[in-house]
Structure 1
Amino acid sequence: MTIQQKTLIEQVVSDARDAQEIVNHYSQEQVDELILAVAWEVIQPENNQELSEMAVSQTGLGNVEDKKRKNRRKTIGLLRDLKDVKTVGIIDENVQTGIIEIARPVGVIGAIVPSTNPIATPLNKVINALKCRNAIILAPSPKGAKVCSRVVELIQIALVRIGAPKNIVQSLPEPISKEDTNELSNLVDLIVATGSQNNIQRALQSGTPTLGVGVGNVPSIIDESANLNDASHKIMTSKTFDNATSCSSENSIIVHEKVYDSMISRLLEEGGSLLNGDEKLKLQGTMWNDRGVINRDVIAKRAAEIAKLSGLSGKHLDSKFLMVEEQYIGSSYPFSMEKLSPVLTVYKAKDFDHAVNIAKDILNNQGKGHSCSIHSQNEDNIFKLGQELPVCRIIVNQAHCFATGGNFDNGLPFSLSMGCGTWGNNVTDENLNYKHYLNTTKIVKTIKNNEPSEKDIFSSYWKKYSLEYSTITELVDQFANETPNKNYLIDADLDLYVTYSQLQKDISNLGTYFEENNIKANDKVGFMLDNGYASTLLFIGAMYHGVVIVPLNVLAGSKQIKYTIDHSECKLIFSSDFYISKFKTILESSNARVVQYSGIESLTFAKQTSVHLTPTQPNSPAVLIYTSGT
């Protein structure tokens, strides 16, 4: 039998699965030691310096000092987030719901990482993966492959030191190719992809569950209430950090016209320089080709380098960041797009609503789902952005590139991968964190039954649209309580006005009469009356008390009337004097007792107490009608 040889990538994945099977049995203490070991090995000063220098040298992106700061800050922040977090065994037990949650690893994770952050991003993913007892294989970009390999080499030294299987963390072997990354994507249990949209789309097409991120193109609004000194300094700090390698750095600012000139002055004081129209055209010609594709030679370079490359002179050669004024948005106006460089586009807004519309247009063109920032003291304006912009994060009065990925002074998880929700074609709108590297098994036990009635669920809806399945009892009581003096019935001929309060009182007295005459719920009571309040009261009052009312059709003829009385088994028949005389023979031959009735005042009571026989239910019988066909 021929045994098929594994490909190189298949062997890497197989090694990862073997290592994961060992770590799968680690305790929480062992897991927590794992992440401390790999984190310290990378960010300890000597190694951090080496890696940062290597990253800039190999990729040509960013600067060493900012990378060192980023690597340390992002890692310390992530370890703070993960401290004391349970990811082994029972992680939650809820007695009320009867649900016990058990943490389970995903398995082997493939992590696609960008050249813009070849240290901080893979380390963040490795720590999250190991915290949840997964194996992880890094798939770097070709430009970042050497530094990523060195990161893994250092991590494996730490793993061996603490007795953990080193293949729990691996990197694709160099040289990196799309084919190898695609093969890896097909073999792992989960892909966590950060970087270009091309890489993310290929990962999504693999069929393997994929956590991707959206495109950045952050707009920042400065309204008339903003602290301009604070805003300008934070924008400068964010825009220039690591030469704007972060997808979270501001790409455009939208300034209220009332503070526009002052804000530009503050930005100039912070080291920015503003280009004129001719200089803007020169810069555009350098940064993009005729097809709108950005020149890789300007990505994550210093502003002075970009200025020199563009043939700019004077103040621009000493600038920390370049500013261009823009009015339009779209692919024909590339300054409205993501730039990944210390170049800032400036829009002027006539009012706040105009600023919001500009931000919407920018995001709808590119960057939906990612984030927007605002510098403002106006809570209404801040809330308006949260209500209207298609973004998952509104960053308030902060340096955007530090805040979006989590900071020590905000509550977002430390991350270098920003989910952009369905706006950005992502399955999550969160900063990717350890929860996304974890499966959870739920043990579900029975609890006390908690099944609501239809009324519990729908009562407010029924009431709002008059759809309530109310009984006549509930309706009479409701109107008597809410509108006691409102007229229920008006008899113009008799100048009679009956309020809901009076109706309720008369119905209660009728209940007393029923009780004294041994009439109970579901008993039948007939009547032979002309139209008027007396017949209305009897009709409504009987149903109110759960008594079945039987109208006797005085026009139907003696034979039908007698049949109706006998068949219905009426216990009482309320009748006017006229009909008692007219149908005397029929009434005297029946088993029902005949009551002369012309209104509630015509009835006699042994006691004057209100009675409610039995609460009427929606399915209680109300009226028994005999037709001529019967």
Structure 2
Amino acid sequence: LEKRREIIRSIRKIIMSNLEEISKLAVEETTFGRVEDKIEKNRLAALKTPGIEDLEPTAYSDDNGMTLMERAAYGVIGSIIPSTNPTSSVINNGISMIAGGNSVVFNPHPMAKKSSCFTVSLINQAIVKAGGPPNVLCAIGNPTIDSAQTLMKHPKIRLLVVTGGPAVVKVAMNSGKKVIAAGPGNPPCVVDETADLVKVGRDIVNGAGFDNNIVCICEKEILAVSQIADKLKEEMIKNGAYELKGEQIEKVTKLVIADPGKPGHER
């Protein structure tokens, strides 16, 4: 565990030293998001992803003796990385999986393979520098749908960690392996009359605008009680929100929603 602690400390350091480079590379390669927000995402992943501190052993004792429970590694983990978070997902998965004593094979998104693989190489450098073995993390250089399916079906992959759209998550869930998956999110904000509307208006706009709203946990919709709805809109507009009206609503709806929901056809 102490060696893992040293390795994770080294990983955090090398990522912090390359924040701007990996963030720029992710935006240039995918054309998604904003560099300044990617920097904050990568910083958060580097500094706040839990390490070995979550691996405390648990002991039970009674008249019949003592039971000691310690968490064991899975071994080799297969990880699918999305184009929306091609570097921060590698950082987060890498640190947490190494903390558990695992090695990882990443299948990056084809649109983001350069930035994901570069991040993997940085982490491997940090591992070796801290006295760990080479190539604890590996990535497929030319990822495809076939390579992802091969990874999911490989007999020596004991756990799948998948971040992506509903299609890839569905394939992973049907793989017969244990799966930790995160698909698309649609987080609502619920605002009632007790809210600090000045703060709420600012926070919703900042959250929804973060990295151009490509992050699945960013605010996507608002449910507001009627007595504060107009005031909330005013505060959001003050912070840069734009209110659609009339034909604009219909045009934008057709542009961004391919299959609108309706009673009996929820989406």
Picking from 220, 225, 232, the partner of 2:189 is 220
**Aligned match of 2:6:** 33
- Alignment correspondent of 2:144: 177
2:15 is matched by which residue type in structure 1?
Answer: V
Partner of 2:88: 120
Question: For residues 86 and 219 of structure 1, do their structure 2 counterparts lie closer, same or farther at Cα, with a shift above 3 Å needed?
Answer: closer
| Contact residue 8 and residue 51 of structure 2 kept, 8 A | no
Aligned to 2:118: 150
* 2:43 paired with 1:72: yes
Distance 2:124 2:196 in 1: 48
Deviations along 1:118-149, one digit per CA (max 9) or x if unpaired, are 11111111111100110001111111111001
Tell me by how many angstroms 1:178 deviates: 0.9
Q: Read off the aligned partner of 1:116 and give its amino acid letter.
A: T
Give the SS at the match of 2:251: helix
Deviation of 1:365 after TM superposition, in Å, equals: 4.1
Q: Secondary structure at the match of 1:105?
A: coil
Aligned to 2:232: 263
Cα distance between partner residues in 2 of 1:365 and 1:35: 44
Name 2:31's counterpart in structure 1.
60
Between the aligned partners of 1:166 and 1:203, the Cα distance in structure 2 is: 28
CA apart distance, 1:198: 0.7
Determine the structure 1 residue equivalent to 2:261. Answer: 331
Q: Deviations over 1:444-485 (max 9, x none)?
A: xxxxxxxxxxxxxxxxxxxxxxxxxxxxxxxxxxxxxxxxxx
Contact 2:19–2:42 (Cα < 8 Å) also in 1: yes
Check 1:122–1:365 CA distance in 2 against 1; reply closer, same or farther (3 A cut). farther
Alignment partners' CA distance in 1, 2:254 and 2:99: 47
Give, in angstroms, the shift of residue 38 of structure 1: 2.0
2:73 and 2:102 in contact (8 A); partners too: yes
- What are the superposed Cα offsets for residues 512-560 of structure 1, whole Å, 9 maximum, x if unpaired? xxxxxxxxxxxxxxxxxxxxxxxxxxxxxxxxxxxxxxxxxxxxxxxxx
Question: How many angstroms apart in 2 are the aligned matches of 1:225 and 1:178?
Answer: 48
Higher relative contact order (CA 8 A, sep 6+): 2
- How far apart are 1:85 and its partner, in Å? 3.9
SS at match of 1:250: coil
Structure with the bigger percentage of helix: 2
Q: Give the Cα–Cα distance (whole angstroms) in 1 for the partners of residues 115 and 53 of structure 2.
A: 31
Cα distance in 2 for residues equivalent to 1:242 and 1:67: 7
TM-score scaled to structure 2, two decimals?
0.92
> Could you tell me which residue of structure 1 aligns to residue 60 of structure 2?
94
- Pairwise CA distance, 1:237: 1.2
For the residues of structure 2 that align with 1:85 and 1:203, how far apart are their CA atoms?
26
**TM-score, length-scaled by structure 1:** 0.40
Q: Which residue of 2 aligns with 1:164?
A: 132
State the match for 2:78 in structure 1.
Answer: 110
**Structure 2 residue 244 is the aligned partner of structure 1 residue 275:** yes
- Following superposition, the deviation at residue 277 of structure 1 comes to 1.6
Displacement after TM superposition at 1:225 (Å): 1.6
Find the aligned partners of 1:82 and 1:51 in 2 and give their Cα distance: 22
- Give the secondary structure class of the aligned counterpart of 2:59: strand
SS of aligned partner of 1:103 = coil
Matches within 5 A, 1:197-208: 197-208=166-177
Partners of 2:100 and 2:170 in 1: CA distance: 26
Deviations 1:585-619 (A, max 9, x none): xxxxxxxxxxxxxxxxxxxxxxxxxxxxxxxxxxx
Please tell me whether the aligned partners of residues 51 and 95 of structure 2 are also in contact (alpha carbons under 8 angstroms). no
Cα 1:208–1:216 shift into 2, 3 Å: same
Q: Which runs of 5+ in 2 are unaligned?
A: none
Work out the number of aligned pairs and report it: 263
Instruction: Give the alignment partner of residue 210 of structure 1, picking from 176, 179, 188.
Output: 179
Q: Give 2:203's aligned amino acid.
A: K
1:29/1:172 Cα in 2 relative to 1: closer, same or farther (>3 Å)? same
Given that residues 189 and 223 in structure 2 are in contact (C-alpha distance below 8 angstroms), is that contact kept between their aligned partners in structure 1?
yes
Q: Which whole-Å CA distance do the structure 2 matches of 1:55 and 1:192 have between them?
A: 21
Q: Which amino acid aligns with 1:70?
A: K
1:254–1:86 CA distance, 2 compared to 1 (3 A): closer
Q: Give secondary structure in 1 for the equivalent of 2:29.
A: helix
Deviations 1:549-573 (A, max 9, x none): xxxxxxxxxxxxxxxxxxxxxxxxx
For 1:43 and 1:62, how far apart are their aligned partners in 2?
A: 20
Which amino acid is 1:180 matched to?
Answer: S
Distance in 1 (CA, whole Å) between partners of 2:186 and 2:239 is 22
Q: C-alpha root-mean-square deviation of aligned residues, in Å? A: 2.0
Cα 1:194–1:228 change in 2 (3 A) is: same
Q: Which structure has the bigger radius of gyration?
A: 1
Structure 1 letter corresponding to 2:240: G
Unaligned runs of at least 5 residues, structure 1 = 1-27, 293-329, 334-360, 367-630
Q: Report if aligned partners of 2:81, 2:163 keep a CA contact under 8 Å in 1.
A: yes
1:118 partner amino acid? P
Deviation at 1:287, TM superposition (A): 2.3
Superposed, 1:536-551 pairs within 5 Å as: none
User: Counterpart of 2:84 in structure 1: which amino acid?
Assistant: T
Q: Distance in 2 between matches of 1:85 and 1:192?
A: 18
CA distance in 2, matches of 1:62, 1:101: 43
Which SS does the other structure have where 1:274 is aligned? coil
Measure the CA separation in 2 of the matches of 1:135 and 1:74. Answer: 18
In structure 2, what is the equivalent of residue 235 of structure 1? 204
Structure 1 residue matching 2:205: 3-state secondary structure = helix
- Matched residue of 1:212: which SS? strand
